Every structure is written in C-alpha cells, then in structure tokens.
Amino acid sequence: MRLKEKIALITGGANGIGLATAERFAREGAKIILWDVSDQGNDVVNRLIKEGHEAIFKKISVTNMEEVEKAVAEAREHFGRIDILINNAGITRDRTLLKMSKQEWDDVIAVNLTGVFNCTQAVAPIMKAQNYGRIVSASSNVAIRGNYGQTNYVATKSAIIGMTKVWAMELGRFGITANCIAPGFIQTAMTAAMPEEVRNQSIPQIPLGKWGVPDDIANGYLYLASDEASFVSGICLTIDGGAAR
C-alpha cells in the first residue's frame, strides 16, 4: 500500500475527482479526512467505513478561515497528525469578461484561491512540526492555455501554480513538498453542465481523442502524495491527454 497509515485531508471530496481520490487513497491504506459543502460527504465516509477503511467527514466551506482552523484542530485531535493535504475543492461561474459580475468573480476567487490558501496555512504548521507533509492542489490546464469565458477560473488556477512554487521554496526545509495538478477535460458533474456543443468541440483539441475520468486525476494525486514523489516539489503535473499548449 502506497499510503499505508497516512492521514489524508481531501477538500471537495463528496463527488467527482475528490470522491475518486478519497476512494483511491483509502484503498492505498490512507485514513481519510473528507471535507465538502455537500452532505453527500456523509454517504461517502459511511461507505468507506463499511468497506473497512477509517474516515471522517466535516461539512465545511474552505472560504471560512475560522471553520477551517476549527476543522483542522478536530482532525488533528482525532488522528494525531495530518500527512497529506489535497486542495481539490473548486467551482466555476463562467461568463465573458464584459458580462461577468463582481459576485461571480468573488465567488470563484473565494473558493478556488482563498480556500486553498486557508487550508494550506492551517495545515502547514502541523506538517512543519512533523517534519513531513505532502501538499497537492488543483490547478487546470486552462491556467496554461487560457479559456474563453473563464477570466475568474483561469485567474485562480494560474495563481495556484505560482503559490505552489512559493510553498515548495518556503516549506521544503521542513520536509514538506508542494505540487499541483492541471487536469484537462474530465468527466464530472461540473463538466456535464457544459453545453454539448462545447464538449463536442473539445475532442479534436485532445491528441488522445477523449476526455479523462476522475481516476486519471486521482492517480496523479496519489503519486504526488506518496513517498515515490519524495524528491518532487514545486511542479505542476498536467493530465489532459496532451491538450495543453
């Protein structure tokens, strides 16, 4: 087992990529701390426990630093440590620049960027004290190539790459690695809401000729969270079928 006895905190873990990651990490021996704004997280954790894994769920918004700090303290009290942080929670509020409202901008910044900052700042002191930690955050391949109608989303995902490089520099001396993953088109509920025309038009842009599935990203999270990647820090791993350019 590649994560045996490791304690992994996964945000946005109730569905999609986060769910696939929680299930994969549990199979690899990790004990799971699942956070999400959806009550579906309870079902996920109950299923993991029924399958013989150890897991806890907390309904929480990563945008609220007070909630985050309290939930981190509770998780540490329960498990004694936190080895892995997967900053996976994210939202979209797509609109072109000239039509985007301030609220749509603020909502995406709050979850996708400030939420990642909040969780990492709250967990990093625990990892520092342990002299061990793995921080992996969700960027996107649109951070590299841009995307029509996603000023807010692209801004956050580009910032994730920059923050990751800074954290690798600042935290490396404490035995902590910081990396991110840039997924391309992945079959999730979020992308299912995209217009069919847009989804069909995306296929020719992908050299492998298909969309990915959540397990493709979970596999990337697993590698960067494992000791196999102990000398990997400050990178953005693109998983998009070759589409980034």
146: containing domain: 7-237
Looking at residue 16, its pLDDT comes to 96
Distance CA 64, CA 15 (A): 21
The beta-carbon contacts of 159-167 under 8 Å, at least 24 apart in sequence, are 159/113, 160/87, 160/112, 160/113, 160/116, 161/236, 163/116, 163/117, 163/120, 163/137, 164/135, 164/137, 164/139, 164/234, 164/235, 164/236, 165/234, 167/120, 167/124, 167/135
Is 152 a domain residue? Answer: yes
- What's the whole-model pTM score? 0.96
Looking at residue 123, its pLDDT comes to 98
CATH of the domain at 143: 3.40.50.720
Q: Kindly list the strands in the beta sheet with 7-11, ordered across the sheet, starting from the edge strand earlier in the chain.
A: 55-59, 31-36, 7-11, 84-87, 133-138, 176-183, 236-239
Is 233 a domain residue? Answer: yes
φ/ψ of 157, rounded to 5, equals -75, -30
DSSP assignment letter at 112: I
Using DSSP, state whether 156 is helix, strand or coil.
helix
Is 242 a domain residue? Answer: no
Distance CA 206, CA 181 (A): 17
| E-state strands within the chain | 7-11, 31-36, 55-59, 84-87, 133-138, 176-183, 236-239
Active site residue 153: yes
Is 72 a domain residue? Answer: yes
The CA–CA distances, whole Å, from 179 to 22, 57, 153 equal: 18, 24, 19
Distance CA 241, CA 72 (A): 35
Split into its structural domains, the chain has a count of 1
Is 2 a domain residue? Answer: no
Specify the pairing of strand 7-11 against strand 236-239. unpaired
The active-site residue out of 148, 153, 221, 223 is 153
Is 245 a domain residue? Answer: no
Distance CA 81, CA 133 (A): 10
The CA–CA distances, whole Å, from 169 to 12, 58, 129 equal: 26, 31, 17
Looking at residue 52, its pLDDT comes to 98
Is 215 a domain residue? Answer: yes
Is 1 a domain residue? Answer: no
pLDDT tens digits in sequence order for the chain, 245 residues long:
999 999 999 999 999 999 999 999 999 999 999 999 999 999 999 999 999 999 999 999 999 999 999 999 999 999 999 999 999 999 999 999 999 999 999 999 999 999 999 999 999 999 999 999 999 999 999 999 999 999 999 999 999 999 999 999 999 999 999 999 999 999 887 777 667 777 778 888 899 999 999 999 999 999 999 999 999 999 999 999 999 66
Distance CA 105, CA 151 (A): 8
Looking at residue 245, its pLDDT comes to 65
